[in-house]
Amino acid sequence: MSNVEQIEEIREKLKKAKNVAILTGAGISQESGVPTFRGEEGLWKNYRAEELATPEAFETDPALVWQWYDWRRSLIKPLLPNPAHDALAELEKSLHKRGENFTLITQNIDGLHEKAGSKNIVELHGNIWKVRCTKCQQVTENSQVPIEILPKCTKCGALLRPHVVWFGEALETDILTKAFKASEECDLFFVIGTSSVVQPAASLAIRAKEANAFVVEINMEETPITEYTDYSLIGKAGEIMPKFL
């Protein structure tokens, strides 16, 4: 079957769907200019993300880790959602109009889905524009971090950290429960722009498939989960997603 026929069939399924779940990864933001994790541009001062995005790095040198996040924030701040983000926001609107469910699960911390107007977002790995207290755990929005003196909690005075999940850390239970539920209850599941090598996110498409959902993957290349999907569309998310509208 050609891509055109597959896209037509997916459009038909979208018209009838009662429950749609989406999983996105760094690839959906690539066309907005956000560096992907496993791509080349993700380096800062010769550190790899795996060296800085850890609780150990923050314990050893919080200033260094905050400088890195400040740099990443400055990269992301001027960026805009691309047609793939916009298409997902549109799809959500049209499903809601029909009284159906739409859940957007993302591994991205860039906030671009929200900027595009998506509403029901499950942020698996946190959000770079939020901070969390290392002691009382309070989460607050914060767009400007005073990295010279290090940011402190207004409630208890302890050090604030980025509200993101680091390597070696577990995901929040209620967030994970929401993601599992959406994947298991949907009739249509899209997995977009993720290398599907990081768990538990990578298992969501398989859960959806096991619960009889129709699973569509959109990526520049095949991934470890491609064999579990019904259709694998190879190409740029920003070019493919608008075709479903």
DSSP 16-56: H-SEEEEEE-THHHHTTTPPPSSSSTT-BTTB-HHHHSSHH
Closer residue to ligand OAD, CB minimum distance, 9 or 239: 239
Q: Which of 43, 63, 156, 220 binds Zn ion (CB under 5 A)?
A: 156
Cα separation, 122 vs 95, in Å, equals 17
Judge whether 125 counts as a catalytic residue. yes
Question: What mask, x for binding Zn ion by CB under 5 A, covers residues 127 to 146?
Answer: ------x-xx----------
Q: Restricting to residues 61-120, name those near ligand OAD by CB under 6 A.
A: 107
Q: Which of 17, 20, 23, 26 binds ligand OAD (CB under 6 A)?
A: 26
Q: Which residue has the tokens 């740099």?
A: 71
Q: Which of 103, 195, 229, 232 binds ligand OAD (CB under 6 A)?
A: 195
Could you tell me the maximum CA-CA distance found in the chain, to the nearest angstrom?
A: 60
Alpha helices in the chain (DSSP H): 3-16, 27-30, 49-52, 55-60, 62-76, 83-97, 112-116, 173-185, 204-210, 237-240
In eight-state DSSP terms, residue 166 is P
Q: Restricting to residues 163-192, name those near ligand OAD by CB under 6 A.
A: 165
CB of 233 to Zn ion, least distance (A): 45
51 binds ligand OAD (CB under 6 A): no
198 binds ligand OAD (CB under 6 A): yes
Q: Which of 194, 205, 225, 233 binds ligand OAD (CB under 6 A)?
A: 194
Cα separation, 20 vs 87, in Å, equals 14
Indicate left, alpha or beta for 111 from its phi (over 0: left) and psi (-120 to 50: alpha): left
Q: Which of 21, 22, 36, 231 binds ligand OAD (CB under 6 A)?
A: 36
Cα separation, 216 vs 221, in Å, equals 13
Nearest to 230 by CA among 243, 212, 245: 212
Q: Which of 10, 14, 17, 27 binds ligand OAD (CB under 6 A)?
A: 27
Q: Active-site residue numbers?
A: 125
Residues that bind ligand OAD (CB under 6 A): 25-27, 30-31, 36-39, 53, 107, 125, 165, 193-195, 198, 218-221, 223, 236-237
Residues that bind Zn ion (CB under 5 A): 133, 135-136, 153, 155-156, 158
